[in-house]
Structure 1
Amino acid sequence: TLITPNIDEATVLTGKSIRDIREMQEAAKIWTDNFHTDILIKGGHLEGDIMFDLLCTTEFMHIYKERKIESSNLHGTGCTLSSAIATCLAKGYPIQKSIQCAKTYITEAIMAGKELHIGNGNGPLWHFPDSIAQI
């Protein structure tokens, strides 16, 4: 139904360099045209203070835009996001609403975990923010 690659993964999947939102759109269009499935390219690795995620379906494109959260606790964000999207889809939400709901959850999980000190290196987000009931 949906693949959720980050910028580096989308570059490998499409063979196209991705450095900005325009190149995200071009790569996403290649994917949906060739494989007829939806793609959410996660733009957290793009330069700048704003994060863009791009949903491309065979019918439309939608850009999700949010301010980046400074945190060294981002381990597991991609897996958590895709699991939250799958949960929302299983509840019967349409794709765009499922992604928005999951993105709200992941944003709150990053905010809740950004001050945690667990282990060394890139730590985890906090999976139990107050918004968990939304999913």
Structure 2
Amino acid sequence: MRAHLTAVTLWVECHRFLPQVPRERRIAFVNGLGFGLVSVCLTANTVGYFLAANLTQTLGAAILMLTPLSFLFSTARNSREVADVVALTLGVLLYPVAAKMNSGLDILVSGLVAGTIAYGVHWWREVRA
């Protein structure tokens, strides 16, 4: 349960909303949002558990895609700097190449390479400025 209070979903939404929240209200905001996410997750897991046995394979596969797509879209929506866009774009483009390695580390490898290149782009832009 505590994982949702430190999850990427909470971080991304706080990154988006906290600048508008007064400083003295931020702890309450984060706790409310975190516990709201936990509540939705618990409800969805309970419903999903009871429905899982009755779903078709196609619908089950579509539902499994919701988490990665949600993560991808929320990250893309909050990419404000060039380095963020470079890391996300390269990560998506390098993933199929890393998946061909059949190591089980495909997401880690593509993310590490894309993030390192994005950091290099960020550093290079800062040095030039």
Task: Please indicate, yes or no, whether the TM-score normalized by the shorter chain is above 0.5.
Answer: no
Structure whose CA Rg is larger:
2
Question: TM-score, normalised on structure 2?
Answer: 0.37
Larger strand percent: 1
Question: TM-score, normalised on structure 1?
Answer: 0.36
Larger helix percent: 2
Which structure has the higher relative contact order (CA within 8 Å, separation 6+)?
2
